[in-house]
Amino acid sequence: MNFKITLLPGDGIGPEIVVEAARVLDTIAGKYNHTFTYQERLMGGCSIDKYGSSLTDETLADCKSSDAVLLGAVGGPKWDDPLAKDRPERGLLALRKGLGVFANLRPVKVHPALMEWSPLKPEKLQGVDILVVRELTGGLYFGFPKGRDVKDGRERAVDTLEYYDYEVRRVMELAFKLARGRKKKVTSVDKANVLESSRLWRQIAVKVGEANKDIELEHTLVDTASMRLITGPAWMDVMVTENMFGDILTDEASVLAGSMGMLPSASLGESTLGLYEPIHGSAPDIAGKGIANPVGTILSAAMMLRHSFNLETEAAALEKAVEQTITDGARTADIGGKLTTRQMADEIIKRM
Ligand code: IPM
Ligand code: MG
């Protein structure tokens, strides 16, 4: 089959990891007789430098006209001025919104061989297999009003946590659907004891739960959820939550896996066009050294095969190769090894 992929390497270590994921995809294409064609575009700080905008209309249009988008990472100290008109992160948010990818899937699994890299005791990590479904195009990141002004002679800044019923419903329904293929449990995370938006969230969770009686539904307040992720992470199957809650909880959950560098994500909307990116950032401290862990991006490519291209066999084969690579002891620096980004990708390719 033929698929068109837009590559957005971005900033920092982004280009180093995306090029490896593309090599892995090429290996899949060769092995299974597919054709992947790539177009590479700038997004983030690199796009600000070249075009004066973190995401140009042309780049967004190119992404929209492809079958999937693979992104590295954006941001860095160079573009961190709080008063700057544009920021690399704005490009990423505009891309998510522009593509309509309202659900961000972040699976967190712990490879037994990496348990020692987690700060948690190994017995707590047994059986951890969580899928966080983070709402991605609404909530505190996108609500209005938003901005800065001067009120009563004082400088003021406002962000708004806003949700429409349909925004909650569609991500909730997806969470239930995904739970059906797993352990059939949905944990809806909110702050319904304080926030109005969370009370709407919970109300809709209950309604969707009533229509999906084969799935167990539980509600947890976000502060409790953050505690339970550390005290007993194995309790959870699918966790669905607001945009910013999900941002925070997934960084927390990532340490369970030993390194943030290991974790992929898929952002999905109504169509099969998806946005795939590792959950880690641009890691400016190691950028250009060729030592970043490519696994998060490579596993994101596996999610692309599954969710955008419906190539389950290929996706599972790639995930198996990654698992075997880790079992066999191949390691980049973040998980205690010496392999370069390229060498780590080679180890995975060897096992495909
Ligand atoms: C993430 C990142 C982004 C987010 C930043 C870079 C805008 O932290 O994907 O989790 O907050 O969504
Ligand atoms: Mg984040």
Label residues 120-129 b or e (16+ Cβ within 10 Å = b). Answer: beeebbeebe
Q: What are the domain boundaries of the chain?
A: 1-101+262-352, 119-257
Per-residue confidence (pLDDT) for residue 82, from 0 to 100 = 86
Span from the CA of 110 to the centroid of ligand 1 (angstroms): 22
| pLDDT bucket at 138, cuts 50 / 70 / 90 | very high
Interval 73-101 mean pLDDT: 96
| pLDDT bucket at 235, cuts 50 / 70 / 90 | confident
Tokens of 294: 């490519």
pLDDT digits (tens, 9 = 90+) for 278-333: 999 999 999 999 999 999 999 999 999 999 999 999 999 999 999 999 999 999 99
Q: Among all residues, which ones are annotated catalytic? A: 141, 191, 223, 247, 251
Q: Tell how far CA 330 is from the center of its chain.
A: 24
Q: Would you say the CATH fold of 119-257 matches that of 1-101+262-352? A: yes
Would you state the CATH architecture of domain 1-101+262-352? 3-Layer(aba) Sandwich (3.40)
Interval 43-61 mean pLDDT: 98
- The CA–CA distances, whole Å, from 228 to 186, 224, 306 equal 15, 6, 30
Give the span between the Cα atoms of 5 and 302, in whole angstroms: 13
Point out the ligand 1 atom lying closest to the alpha carbon of residue 243. 12
Protein residue closest via CA to atom 8 of ligand 1: 247
Q: What percent of the chain has pLDDT over 90?
A: 97
Q: What CATH number was assigned to the domain covering residues 119-257?
A: 3.40.718.10
Contact 242 CB / ligand 1 (< 6 Å): no
Residue 264, H or E segment: none
Interval 139-154 mean pLDDT: 96
